[in-house]
Amino acid sequence: MPPSVIRFLRAAGRLLLALAAVAGLVVVFLALLVLTDGAGSGLAAWLTTLAVATVLALWRGRRRTRPARLVPFVPVVVAAALTASVCLPTVPSARRYPSALPFVATQHWRLATGSRVAVYHYPPAKAATRRPVPLVYLNGGPVRSISLLDHRFLQLLARRGYDVHAYEQAGGGRSDLLPMEQYTISRSVRDLGAFLDRLGRGRVDVLGFSSGGAVLTRALADPHIAARVHRAVIAEPGPMDGPTARIAGHKGRKSARGLAPALTGPRSTHVPRYAVAFGLLQLGLLTPENGLVGQAEGDNAFTAADLGDDTASAYCARDAHRIPVEDTARNFSFSPAASLRIQRTVRDSPSLTAQLRRSRTPAMLMIAECSSQVRQWETAVLANDPAVQRTQYLPGVGHHMWNGLDANSERAYAALTAFLQNKPAPLPNYPTRDDIPAFLREHR
């Protein structure tokens, strides 16, 4: 074999060994990051990795000549530089709240639970027939700002005579953050009760969407809170309790997930620090209370583009190339850690069935044809709440039913207002409790 080839092979071998050393040190860093739960913004893991790597580099170079002793330190320096990027914040660590909305005033209410929440009020239009019962809206998230798309639907309700009140749940949008350990599904339910008390308007109608629908479902199982609810509309609910959350069911008709163009705009997950933090958090390898990225920093970093296909999954496949802009960067806010913690408290909660079966508050369930929710999350409400008087299965829409496409918002409004006014439904009452087995079997 020619000497030049031998030299090339030796150089290639040394390069591969160096790359393997760098990769090994990165793996050690990530393992320590998990073991320390990101303590000290990841510096505990970084310093430990650097110390171990330095000791190994000294040991490897102990019998070499002075210049050659520096060679084992090259992978150490490269790995240290790569992993240091995970420890360096690129956004402020103090919460930056979304700017004020130009079309509605933001109030802040301190609830009896201690939560300080952002509140929005859309009074009924003067030209419309005023509805006698106020309407409260609970948005999804669970710890997320109310999107501009939702605000437009609330404005539609106000133009038709509804006195609409909404609040962003603790930690979401313009509401103040809570200590991470206080984000629980039971706290969300107590906040709803405290909000209704503070509102002071007697019994009100409540519309709960997505995770807001799960909060409303659990509130209906609490007689003290349910007594303040006149009528309840549960739209596309998340799981109501642990047994429901653990059901491995199917979803609705095909959504636009995987079909829609990727959302444009900056992504925090293109930054090593947040890609690692959010990835390990999603895998359950970091706790929501981790020391790597604090709650406020994580909220500041997370963008709408980071949601990826989650946004597309809220629309039917046929709408994949015309998904509306749901929000703006100035209004969007999502807390990944707090949301994940609330979801985990739902999964850890005991069955709600016995309490829900005692509910007497008139309720309606709204289900989308292309729902991204597990069907059993929705049918569990219908099966176990005897006060659900009707179900409206909305064809041609996904999880975000009032999406402004075609006449979808008007159809959602028609189904909602017919129930609130105790008028005949615009759509068949489907599925009924008797229809549930066939509804699930046919993958509707």
Tokens read off for 166:
């909404």
Tokens read off for 159:
């133009």
Pairing of strands 107-110, 135-138: unpaired
In a domain, 391, yes or no: yes
Both 36 and 128 in one domain: the answer is no
CA angle (310, 179, 184) in 5-degree steps? 55
Average pLDDT of span 1-18: 60
Q: H/E element holding 158?
A: helix 148-159
pLDDT of residue 63: 60
Query: Given 53, 84, 115, which residue is the final one in a domain?
Result: 84
In a domain, 369, yes or no: yes
Half-sphere exposure in the Cβ direction for 85 (13 Å, CA): 13
Residue type, 369: E
In a domain, 102, yes or no: no
pTM for this entry: 0.92
pLDDT at 64 over 80: no
Both 243 and 114 in one domain: the answer is yes
pLDDT at 247 over 70: yes
> What is the C-alpha separation between 405 and 152, in angstroms, rounded?
13
Contact (Cβ atoms closer than 8 angstroms) between residue 403 and residue 152: no
In a domain, 294, yes or no: no
Both 60 and 158 in one domain: the answer is no
Both 74 and 140 in one domain: the answer is no
In a domain, 279, yes or no: no
> What is the C-alpha separation between 28 and 48, in angstroms, rounded?
9
> What is the C-alpha separation between 255 and 118, in angstroms, rounded?
32
Q: H/E element holding 55?
A: helix 43-60
pLDDT band of 128, cuts 50, 70, 90? confident
CATH code of the domain containing 351? 3.40.50.1820
> What is the C-alpha separation between 358 and 391, in angstroms, rounded?
19
Contact (Cβ atoms closer than 8 angstroms) between residue 25 and residue 83: yes
pLDDT band of 3, cuts 50, 70, 90? low
In a domain, 298, yes or no: no
In a domain, 93, yes or no: no
Average pLDDT of span 222-242: 97
In eight-state DSSP terms, residue 435 is G
Both 117 and 17 in one domain: the answer is no
Tens of pLDDT, residue by residue over 211-221, are 999 999 999 99
Average pLDDT of span 149-170: 97
Tokens read off for 267:
């992504």
Both 151 and 247 in one domain: the answer is yes
pLDDT of residue 71: 64
Tens of pLDDT, residue by residue over 391-433, are 999 999 999 999 999 999 999 999 999 999 999 999 999 999 9
Contact (Cβ atoms closer than 8 angstroms) between residue 249 and residue 376: yes
Q: Determine what percent of the chain falls in helix, strand and coil, rounding each to the nearest 5.
A: 45, 15, 40
What is the Cα 77 distance to its own chain's centre? 38
Both 249 and 390 in one domain: the answer is yes
Residue indicated by tokens 């519309």: 207
Q: How many structural domains is the chain composed of?
A: 2
Report the candidate in 311, 246, 297, 226 with the shortest Cα–Cα distance to residue 268.
Answer: 297
pLDDT of residue 438: 94
pLDDT at 366 over 70: yes
Both 145 and 39 in one domain: the answer is no
> What is the C-alpha separation between 379 and 75, in angstroms, rounded?
56
What three-state secondary structure class fits 99?
Answer: coil
CA angle (283, 288, 343) in 5-degree steps? 75
In a domain, 303, yes or no: no
Report the candidate in 8, 20, 30 with the shortest Cα–Cα distance to residue 72.
Answer: 20
Strand order in the sheet with 388-398: 107-110, 116-122, 164-168, 135-138, 204-209, 229-235, 363-370, 388-398
> What is the C-alpha separation between 417 and 200, in angstroms, rounded?
23
Domain span at residue 69 reads 3-84
pLDDT of residue 7: 59
Both 43 and 114 in one domain: the answer is no
Both 357 and 434 in one domain: the answer is yes
Both 186 and 222 in one domain: the answer is yes
Tokens read off for 441:
């079997």
pLDDT band of 263, cuts 50, 70, 90? confident
Report the candidate in 117, 35, 44, 86 with the shortest Cα–Cα distance to residue 301.
Answer: 86
* Mean pLDDT (the chain, rounded): 92
Both 119 and 246 in one domain: the answer is yes
